Amino acid sequence: MQHFPDPLAREQPLSPRDIVRSGLCIGCGSCVADVPGAAMRFDEHGLLKPDGPSDWYRERTADFARRCPFSPAAANEDAIALSRFPHAQVADGKVGRFDGAYVGHVAEEEFRANGSSGGMVTWVAAELLRTGRIDAVAHVAPANPANDGRFFRYGISRTVEELGNGAKSRYYPIELSEVLREIRAVPGRYAVVGVPCFIKAIHLLRRSDPIIAERVTHTLGLFCGHMKSARFVESFAWQLGQELERVRAVDYRIKDAGRPANWYRAHLTMEDGSAAAQDWWHLVDGDWGAGFFQASACNFCDDVVAETADIAFGDAWVEPYSSDGRGTNVVVVRSPDLHRMVEEARAAGRLELTPVDAAFIEQTQAAGFRQRREGLAYRLTWWRRGVRPRKRLAPSAGGLPWRRKLVYRMRAHIAAWSHRMAAVAHRTGRPAIYTRWGRWALTVYQALTYSRGPMGEWLDRVEKRLGDRAA
């Protein structure tokens, strides 16, 4: 594979400790996969962080700096995509390079019914196995918390039947180190499914590790809003009146064909087989955009649609698709081979997909792009913590209205303080410490963002007065 250098990358030796202390570690596990004695472990906030020999953890090296997806010395998404897909069209600075884009769902078997959305992620992975393009898929699947201490983890499936266990969305910390070790140990052709920063980490690793470069032949990306901490599940348990120790399974998005797809419903399965469920809008942290339990590194991500993946998938968050409870995908294809595979399945009636353009893809992820473009540029203006992120846009307030600045400030406040308040609630055994703070934070956020409640009406009046004065 030809490598195109990133002219903006800084040759800056860094250590895992530098990245963690700067709040830029996303917990992907790439850095510990080939280090004896190192592993990813949960911190006090339920986020995965590298842990290992002191000399490795503190040693600054150029190799680590080039492999960490949030390092300023790593190649950015544009350089990686140019290397991977040099002949793909470039639409703009949001969707990146691509061969084709679609909206729709899987028409055959139970793929759509069993997935959170239109079933396309599992279908593509299964088709790669079925056609012999790959031998195995690395993807996230449920784990038994009573044995593993976690609800989800990466695993490797070698059959379509095994693959079905990994369908649906997982808003939970996971890491790649275990499957990377297995890929190194067991020859074969592998596909990896992951969020944008994980797919980027795979490509950065492929540049320095010939075994990974040879064996990871396909990457399947998932559009991403942000990563949640493990405390999100504990918050579900608190608010549903359950004990976390009794929870054996969690479903973040129960599918109901009779309800709009964007009406999320959380579902917990208990050790005795009973269940508890609640619609997200009744939860204090159920507004996704508010950023409860968001990983710090997500404040400095500029890739919404997995720009470096061979194919990427998201939800069609525009009408009439968002009201269809059966689920609908948007798909961005960058690999010519996968583009042919998708087109052949469309022609055979196996996929119900309609071609769309980059503008449509952007529309379906409009809120995510505002957060990762306008919001990111503003957040970069106040960043003062350790290693400075290097992104594809410059720090700028850009004439941002004062109220919009407050929205971004409030999101950052919620992202940081939700971890701290939940940690206190966990240590003291008093969930109300978190839930009462969460209700207050959500009230302020929704007043700022949506003009809800008396506070929102007051802010509208202030905004109008200031606008009248400026005029």
For residue 395, count CB atoms less than 10 angstroms from its CB and return exposed for 0-12, middle for 13-18, buried for 19 or more. middle
Give pLDDT, residue 97. 94
Q: In 186-335, which residue ranges form alpha helices assigned H by DSSP?
A: 196-208, 210-215, 231-239
Residues 300 and 427 placed together within one structural domain of the fold: no
Give pLDDT, residue 274. 96
Confidence band of 260 (pLDDT split at 50, 70, 90): confident
Whether 76 maps to a domain, the answer reads yes
The predicted model gives 375-388 an average pLDDT of 91
DSSP one-letter string for 6-55: -TT-----B-HHHHHHTT------TTTTTSTT-EEEE-TTS-EEEE--HH
- pLDDT tens-digit map of 49-93: 999 999 999 999 999 999 999 999 999 999 999 999 999 888 777
Give pLDDT, residue 1. 43
**Is residue 3's pLDDT more than 90?**
no
Whether 321 maps to a domain, the answer reads yes
The predicted model gives 224-242 an average pLDDT of 96
Residues 182 and 301 placed together within one structural domain of the fold: yes
Give pLDDT, residue 2. 46
Residues 148 and 203 placed together within one structural domain of the fold: yes
Check: CB of residue 91 under 8 Å from CB of residue 357. yes
Which of 339, 370, 401 is where one domain is finished?
Answer: 370
Residues 407 and 451 placed together within one structural domain of the fold: yes
Whether 34 maps to a domain, the answer reads yes
Confidence band of 114 (pLDDT split at 50, 70, 90): confident
Q: Give the C-alpha distances (Å, rounded to integers) separating 15 from 66, 67, 383.
A: 11, 11, 20
Give pLDDT, residue 69. 97
For residue 137, count CB atoms less than 10 angstroms from its CB and return exposed for 0-12, middle for 13-18, buried for 19 or more. buried
Q: Which of 262, 311, 267 is nearest to 288 (CA)?
A: 262
Q: Give the C-alpha distances (Å, rounded to integers) separating 386 from 65, 383, 411, 419.
A: 14, 9, 21, 20
**Is residue 129's pLDDT more than 70?**
yes
The predicted model gives 189-197 an average pLDDT of 97
Give pLDDT, residue 103. 97
Residues 37 and 97 placed together within one structural domain of the fold: yes
Give pLDDT, residue 454. 81
DSSP H or E stretch at residue 89: strand 89-90
Tokens describing residue 274: 């009973």
Residues 64 and 156 placed together within one structural domain of the fold: yes
Region label for 23, one of left (φ > 0), alpha (ψ between -120 and 50) or beta (otherwise) = left
Whether 375 maps to a domain, the answer reads no
Which of 305, 335, 370 is where one domain is finished?
Answer: 370
Residues 315 and 203 placed together within one structural domain of the fold: yes
Residues 197 and 328 placed together within one structural domain of the fold: yes
Q: Which of 422, 378, 33 is nearest to 208 (CA)?
A: 33
Check: CB of residue 120 under 8 Å from CB of residue 102. no
Whether 224 maps to a domain, the answer reads yes
| Domains: count for the chain | 2
The predicted model gives 170-184 an average pLDDT of 95
Residues 71 and 201 placed together within one structural domain of the fold: yes
Q: Which residue has the tokens 């007043």?
A: 447
The predicted model gives 141-153 an average pLDDT of 91
Confidence band of 100 (pLDDT split at 50, 70, 90): very high
Give pLDDT, residue 255. 80
pTM: 0.94
DSSP one-letter string for 368-407: HHHHHTHHHHHHHHH--SSSPP--SS----TT--HHHHHH
Whether 377 maps to a domain, the answer reads no
For residue 262, count CB atoms less than 10 angstroms from its CB and return exposed for 0-12, middle for 13-18, buried for 19 or more. middle
Whether 149 maps to a domain, the answer reads yes
Give pLDDT, residue 244. 95
The predicted model gives 139-167 an average pLDDT of 90
3-state secondary structure at position 419? helix
**Pairing of the two strands 39-42 and 48-51:** antiparallel
Confidence band of 141 (pLDDT split at 50, 70, 90): very high
**Is residue 342's pLDDT more than 90?**
yes
Whether 245 maps to a domain, the answer reads no
**Is residue 459's pLDDT more than 80?**
no
3-state secondary structure at position 262? coil
Residues 409 and 341 placed together within one structural domain of the fold: no
Range from 64-68, 114-118, 137-141, 331-335 carrying the lowest mean pLDDT: 114-118
| Share of the chain residues as helix, strand and coil, in percent rounded to the nearest 5 | 45, 15, 40
Which of 319, 338, 370 is where one domain is finished?
Answer: 370
Q: What is the mean pLDDT of the chain?
A: 92
SS3 for 155-185 is EEECCHHHHHHHCCCCCCCCCCHHHHHHHHH
Residues 104 and 33 placed together within one structural domain of the fold: yes
Give pLDDT, residue 375. 95
The predicted model gives 5-9 an average pLDDT of 58
The predicted model gives 427-442 an average pLDDT of 97
Give pLDDT, residue 7. 55
**Is residue 424's pLDDT more than 90?**
yes
Tokens describing residue 175: 């890491």
- Look up the domain containing 175 and give its range: 16-228+294-370
Residues 341 and 404 placed together within one structural domain of the fold: no
